[in-house]
Amino acid sequence: MKNYIKIIALGSILSLASCSDLLDTEPRQSLTPDTALADVNGYESLLATAYTGARSFASYGQSLMIAPEIMADNLRIIANTGRYIGQEVNADRQHMGLWGNYGAINVTNIIINGVDAVEGDATRKNRIKGEAFFLRALYYFDLAKVYGYEPGKEVNGWNNSVIIRTTPTLSFSDADFKARSTNRQVYDLIESDLNTAIGLLPSAAQGSNGIYRVTKGAAEALLARAYLYDSKLPQAAAMATQSMTTFNLGNDGTGLSTPANYVSGFSTYPNPESLFEIEIRSVDWSTVDGVNNSMCTLTSNVFTGAQFIVTASSELIAAYEIGDIRRNAWIATTRSGATGTVFRSAKWLGTKGDFLENLPIMRASELFLIRAEARFRTDAPGARSDLNALRSKRGLAAVDAGLVGDALFNQILKERRVEFALEGHRWFDLKRNGLTISKHSNNQPVPYSDYRLLAPLPQDQLILNELLVDNPGYN
């Protein structure tokens, strides 16, 4: 009998003894911040995350490439899958949504505020920090373009831009509520971040593998773009020149793709004209992202199962001059359910296999167009020669030497339109110049003063954060 008691007692003691580490557990696939960010390697890993924000489908992965085209006059829907149907007709609230950028912005803030304090090679730390400054500027720039007017282009004085956060959220108390900053403040931050980045970043050759990470030249190029949006035109021209110097681009267009290589460049990784390109690997996608969400599936029919929902508008096709090699970025084909000839994109061909391709964020030709526009708007010489340098690499003759004024400006805009078709510039090029958003076929143009020029803020954030006000016109 006593034996039974002993057995039970032993069992009980054993089972209790086994819980001596009573309530200790480990989240084995995660680290604490102290461990993870103890050295420069941790920040390098954070930086990888900061890059991934750019390839999300709300950003350059899809929406920032397609929406600015279809919300203006470059694309039209040829298959109704529900996607971009509202954007095509500029329906209420059918816009771009980039509030998710703040996730990556917080990562850049952690890096910028923390990397200096850890052990590690100073060059490496500077580079990481420089990349973080660049990426923070890029994400804020995209937010500013979508949610606010450019400085000096306000309608009815509406200068609200987005919320600025430059300190990291590391704990609950950091996640306080903030109001929107002015567009001036946001652009100041973008320009300051990029200037800092330029001082920290190394250089790499245009079109080399080095441009998968941001470089000094890319920061200069983005800063030139920011100055242009900000109407700081002499600075824009100067910074474009500086970037061209960094990338060894000649004023005559040397360094740009030849006419024979323009289209194929988009199936070359990296694109020979890329100043900054986001690399995507198949592991970055879930099994269905290629067929569901990639640029290739939406704009082309090269793979079985591709959705091919958008094609070039006839207005865009008509915008190509005869002999323009860029016209070859559209290949005539047919689409069941769509009448007549439609065009599939030859820029987004998924040449890495199964819809996979990289995302060029900035290409060299943009520097010529930035400088041409900046020079034109400041009446500085060289606008036409910058255009001609680009045109010489696109199979086109020089523009008329007497081209001036509105005609020249329109030529610059048209050059941008065809150069960057399906690269997400069109809407922003019209908007930042205060122009009516022109539309294709029978869709109604959107006057610059229309409330739909600015995206609505996320509804849940407006309710949550009493300091936040929506853009005008959204009920």
With CB under 8 A as the contact rule, the residue among 336, 381, 402, 406 that binds another protein is: 336
**Binding mask of the shown chain, residues 359 to 398, with x at each position contacting another protein by CB under 8 A:** ----------------------------------------
Q: H or E stretch including 162?
A: none
Residue 79 near another protein by CB under 8 A: yes
Q: Is 458 in the site for another protein (CB under 8 A)?
A: yes
CA dist., res. 94 & res. 214, Å (int): 32
Q: Which of 455, 371, 458, 359 is nearest to 416 (CA)?
A: 371
Among candidates 146, 138, 140, which has minimal Cα distance to 163?
Answer: 140
Size of site (CB under 8 A) for another protein: 109
Does 26 contact another protein by CB under 8 A?
yes
Provide the pairing of β-strand 75-77 with 338-345. unpaired
81 binds another protein (CB under 8 A): yes
Compute CA distances 453 → 62, 175, 427, whole Å.
20, 30, 9
Indicate the residue among 54 and 223 with the shorter CB distance to another protein: 54
- Of residues 45, 245, 248, 449, which one binds another protein by CB under 8 A? 45
Look at residues 87, 34, 44 and name the one whose alpha carbon lies nearest to residue 65.
87
Which residues within the stretch 48-77 sit at the binding site for another protein (CB under 8 A)?
48-49, 51-52, 77
436 interacts with another protein by CB under 8 A: no
Name the segment binding another protein (CB under 8 A); options: 96-104, 112-120, 269-277, 415-423: 96-104
Q: Rounded to the nearest whole angstrom, what is the least distance from the CB of residue 36 to another protein in the complex?
A: 4
Taking the complex as a whole, how short is the minimal distance between the CB of residue 463 and another protein, in angstroms?
Answer: 5
- Window 100-119: residues binding another protein (CB under 8 A): 100, 102-103, 105-107, 109-110
Tell which positions 217-276 bind another protein, by CB under 8 A. none
- Written as one string, the DSSP assignment of 249-306 is --TT-BTBPPTTTTTGGGGSSS-TTEEEEE---GGGS-TTHHHHH-HHHHH--SSTT-
Q: Provide the β-strand partners of residue 39.
A: 119
Angle at 226 between CA 222 and CA 229, to 5 degrees: 140
Supply 36's token pair.
């993870």
Q: How far apart are CA 236 and CA 262, in angstroms?
A: 25
Q: Is 184 in the site for another protein (CB under 8 A)?
A: no
Please say which residue, 156 or 339, places its beta carbon nearer to another protein: 339
